[in-house]
Amino acid sequence: MRTFFIFLFLLCSARAIAQPEFDNRLSYDQIQALLKDGIKPRDVRKQAMAWYHWAYYDEEQTGITELAFEYLGRSADLFLEAGDTLAYYRVRSDLADHLSARRLWDEAIKMQQEALDYYKQTGNLHYETHLLAKLSRVYANKGDEKQAGKLKREFSSRNRLLKDTILDITMTMDDVQRNGQNGRYSIARYDASNALRLAEQTSRTDLVSLGQYSVGHYSYLDHDYKMALFFLKKAEKSTARVNLALRHNIYRRLWNTYEALDSLELALKYANQSAVVGDSLLAQEREAALHRLTIQFDTQEKREEIEKLVAQKGEAEAESEQQKLGLAALAVALAAVLLALFFIVRDYNHRMRVNKVIAAQTEEINQQKIRDLENNLKIETMQSMLAGQESERQRVAQDLHDSVGGLLAAVKIQLETMTAKKPERSLDEDWKKIRGLLDETVAETRHIARNMQPSALLEFGLVTALRDLTNRVHGEGVPHITFQHFGEFSDIHRDTALNCYRIIQELLQNSLKHARAKEILVQITRTDNQLALLVEDDGAGFDATSVKKGMGTDNVARRAQFLKGELSVQSAKGQGTSTLVTVPILETQGKP
């Protein structure tokens, strides 16, 4: 079973950074032709591509893996020399895969992290997402489950935007394998069911068959024989006959399942079928091994011919050197002088370079200190500004409640007193309009005061305040607002909760004013170390590159920056808008 998971991971990894010039394997003659084309006239990129394919040719066609590291390293250096940074990190990622396969975890992690940093800096969501998946797998294999889980969560966040179903299947099947190896068969079966559900959304029948087999396999190990039989029979029908390895495992597991159910006749039937397919599979493997040995022998002969040519060239050069020995003796003295000058100049240049490096490092340290001071100043300024805003909001809300609210209440009492003295006034239409306008003014004043200083936030917490905020928006022509919350929010720091409330309040107002939406989703999610604030609508959307930022957008961005969070806006004309703000929860933020 583990063989299939490894095969699936490698297959999806190959698709992860799909580039035809890398993925389409070349023959030995094609590799040699490409290498010659790159040598004369000199084309460094062609040479790099030739060495890349030579590494995989040796590994896949001949079974020789010793030179793969050298060839991939040489290819990466040549791509870097050619200025093709994307190809450079692609090859480095492949080299890290080889290191990981040999359990050289730290070296593999270093290379994968360098590639991941590059993809993040260049904003390449596709490559970044796949590198997060690969790096998570390396940490998991190393045994660092904490870091692996962190990277997997980051991968899930990115893949929600990328929507690569094949990669989701790969990560899920990786969980299946790990839980199965640790004896957690029920969890492995559940994960395999999720992988099957994702596979059925694709056109990949091979992934569907593998998912069905996996559910059946772990159902058997979990002693749920009827469920195992159901999915194994489905896998038997959906698996192509040419996939002998998978069919062999299906027959073998059906044999075991029927045996466990005391259906000995059917168990014997599938035992015989398993034996037949196993013989065919063994014959295939023997033929493939013979083919590899033949290619390996041919390749070894070609290498020996090249070594002979190199040896002959060396002998000719040695003979030529002997003939020139007399002339060389006359040049010894001059060579010694030139050598001395060379060392003097090199030492001088070395000292100059060292001084430049020291000066550059000193300048970089000074610049970093300046940047740190500027960032601290910006944060302090922003903190003061936000604190001032909230203080002014509180003052205005208090004035509205105490002063304007009190006056309005007094006017309303006076109006009711006058109506009580002369009841006939209540029938007057102008009198009714005055009372209606007064009621509307009182309600609007309360609404403004509650928006200025949400008392529900201070008394009952973030969830209650947001539910109150969304419930206040109703009526004909107003979008339907759905509020969802996941996780525990009672320990969120008051300042953090207030800023999160303001962010969602601003985003909700933007959707109500501009989106012309029918549905709005407001969602907050709490994990161990992060808050995620999401506001989505099905409105008109906009082109983010052509729309100018307004005060609302700037306020959201400033508050996100103050909380050291990240703001992501996804929108297109006619396709609605999705705004996600992720806020890290620091130790100081976790205390109310």
Residue 580 φ/ψ, nearest 5 degrees: -120, 125
Domain locations in the chain as residue ranges: 1-163, 333-451, 460-584
What gap in Å lies between CA 403 and CA 10, rounded to an integer?
A: 71
pTM of the model: 0.46
What gap in Å lies between CA 127 and CA 90, rounded to an integer?
A: 9
Tens-digit pLDDT string for the chain (592 aa)? 444 443 444 344 434 445 678 878 888 788 888 888 888 778 889 888 888 888 888 777 766 677 788 888 899 999 999 999 998 998 998 888 888 888 889 998 999 999 999 989 998 888 889 889 889 889 988 888 899 889 889 988 888 888 888 888 988 888 898 888 889 999 999 999 999 999 889 888 888 989 999 999 999 999 999 998 999 999 888 875 547 888 889 999 999 999 998 898 998 998 998 888 888 878 766 765 665 566 555 555 555 554 454 344 345 445 656 766 756 666 677 777 788 778 788 878 888 887 888 888 878 887 887 777 766 666 666 666 656 665 666 566 555 555 665 666 667 676 777 777 777 766 777 776 677 777 767 666 666 655 655 666 767 788 888 888 888 777 667 788 898 888 888 788 877 888 888 888 888 888 888 878 888 989 999 988 889 999 988 888 877 666 555 545 777 888 888 788 888 888 888 788 888 999 898 654 554 5
For domain 460-584, the CATH superfamily is Histidine kinase-like ATPase, C-terminal domain (3.30.565.10)
Kindly calculate the radius of gyration of the chain based on its CA atoms and give it in whole angstroms.
35
What gap in Å lies between CA 191 and CA 249, rounded to an integer?
A: 20
What gap in Å lies between CA 173 and CA 9, rounded to an integer?
A: 8
CATH class of 1-163: mainly alpha
How does DSSP assign 243-272, residue by residue? -HHHHHHHHHHHHHHHHHTT-HHHHHHHHH
**Closest CA relative to residue 584, chosen from 529, 525, 527, 502:** 529
Give, as one character, the DSSP assignment of residue 408. H
Predicted pLDDT of residue 494:
78
Are the CB atoms for 69 and 94 separated by under 8 Å?
no
